[in-house]
Amino acid sequence: MNGLGGLNKSPNGVVIGLAQLALPVTKTKEDLTKQTVKVCEMMGKAKRFAAPIDLVVFPEYMLHGLSMDTRKEIMCDVDGPEVERLRQACVENDLWGCFSIMEYNPDGNPYNTGLIIDNKGEMRLNYRKLHPWIPVEPWEPGDKGLPVCEGPNGSTLGLAICHDGMFPEVSRELAYKGADIILRTAGYTPPIRHSWRITNQTNAFCNLAYTASVAMCGSDGTNDSMGEAMIVNFEGVPTVEGSDRADEIITGEVRPDLVREARINWAVENNIYQLGHRGYVAVKGGVTDAPYTYMKDLQDGTYHLPWEDEIVHKDGQAYGFPQPREKE
């Protein structure tokens, strides 16, 4: 159920607009400004839309395109003019927005940063992509963990950026912190189409959460992004699926109250609870240990695959990037 694409909003619903933004080419500061204006205009389009949208989600790379250009002059700051324009657009249109910037980093490569701004222009979430799509992306790995924030109509929002969604641990962490809607923004191209779909579905089902995901759309003359926005309910069933039409806004209603109901009342397949309460039928309260070797090794800094020494790509040089800096 999605209220006919959000046209019929329920009292407990959140209507999400997923903006399949046309893939830009950004080479200059003027290009960056022009693209920021376009995103703000899309906020206006969302406001005029027939469905009563609460939250507009824009794709990763919405301002910068897929060039992987890290020049300082086209990077953004969280308190810079581009983000200020986005704040104003949220206020002017009385809408929440989820946005993407490439954030200048004076100490290394830029961060790939996602922002959630409420309808009053307040920053609610500031997240740096934890898992850049290596070896293709040059971004500094995120250092802010995986925050969640209060969203519209009593929801709790989490954000995974593109490749983050391929790691089940990311969505599990967001849900563990209370997210009932997990947003996923991306710049993906068609070869990732199948992986995109199945991970959006499994991330929803395994965590009893909605996932709402959108990629850039169209071509920049070199890269082709796929659009394919989708909303998946907490049973892992897609309720809304987009197309490959650029600048289309795909809408649907989600029900965080039903997520909370399932998380409390489900017995069978309440896996996010059962992970930490193994075998509670046999043992009162279940076993609460961590039996997974990789978790312990990550914690100890000793993560090492049996085939790790044979792995070919361990930096980005094959994709034209220089040798990475040494760890501090």
Q: What is the DSSP string of 254-306?
A: E-HHHHHHHHHH--TT-HHHHTTSBTTTTSTT-B-----HHHHHHHHT----T
Active site includes 261?
Answer: no
Name the active-site residue from 60, 103, 140, 228. 60
Active site includes 296?
Answer: no
How far is it, in rounded angstroms, from Cα 130 to Cα 306? 24
Residue 16's SS3 state is: strand
Residue 152 and residue 183 in contact, taking contact as beta carbons nearer than 8 Å: no
Residue 96 and residue 116 in contact, taking contact as beta carbons nearer than 8 Å: yes
**Residues 6 or more apart whose Cβ sits within 8 Å of residue 35:** 24, 26, 62, 63, 64
Active site includes 162?
Answer: yes
Q: How many CB atoms lie within 10 A of CB 113?
A: 25
Name the active-site residue from 82, 90, 129, 228. 129
Cα dihedral 265, 271, 272, 277 sign: positive
Name the active-site residue from 40, 98, 162, 217. 162
Q: Where in the sequence numbering do the catalytic residues fall?
A: 60, 129, 162
